[in-house]
Amino acid sequence: MRDVIGKAGPFTLRLHRNRFRALVFSIIGQQISGKAAAAIRSRLVEYLKPQQISAESIARLTPEQLRSVGLSQQKAAYLLDLTERVANGNLRLSRMARMKDEQVIEALTEVKGIGVWTAQMFLIFSLGRLDVFPHDDLGVRMAIRNLYGLDELPNKDTSHRIAAPWRPYASIASWYCWRSLEFKD
């Protein structure tokens, strides 16, 4: 990790302060390329103008309108489920900063389309939690394989064993893992 830190420089993470939008963008980006996700995000933002992405603005949309910007039927349903939970107060994003990581994960995974990985990304990139280790993240696993000279992608146990010394800063180490994938040796 010392070499990666030297190449990447200081840890710099800009938090996504709009928590609802961060979750919307996470759902949009699931299982599609970054380019496709960016195009759909851009179309949704344009469709909603002059309004911003919010529970109120998404709640006014029908599944068909969400599909018209490129969302699958399933992802449209996921966004509407998130929207409903936020709008009716069952999911209070403003209170999450005071919750423990496990409580945040539990609350978010109640939403259709949000799994543990998405909840972990929310903890890191929206709440700024410093000790989250997303062991299922493909980028982190690839980086661990590369950095630690493994023949194949590490499983959960191997990943956790390698990441144990990173505690209580596993999020920062994960960020450096992602950055390491940008470097050509």
Share of the chain above pLDDT 90, in %: 91
3 state SS for the chain: CHHHHHHHCCCCCCCCCCHHHHHHHHHHHCCCCHHHHHHHHHHHHHHHCCCCCCHHHHHCCCHHHHHHCCCCHHHHHHHHHHHHHHHCCCCCHHHHHHCCHHHHHHHHCCCCCCCHHHHHHHHHHCCCCCCCCCCCCHHHHHHHHHHCCCCCCCCHHHHHHHHHHHCCCHHHHHHHHHHHCCCCC
> What mean pLDDT is predicted for residues 74-82?
97
Annotated domain spans of the chain: 2-12+133-180, 19-125
> What mean pLDDT is predicted for residues 43-70?
96
Task: Provide the CATH topology of domain 2-12+133-180.
Answer: Endonuclease Iii, domain 2 (1.10.1670)
Active site positions, annotated: 137
Q: Looking at the whole model, is its pTM more than 0.95? A: no
Q: Which CATH architecture has domain 19-125?
A: Orthogonal Bundle (1.10)
Whether residue 185 has pLDDT greater than 80: no
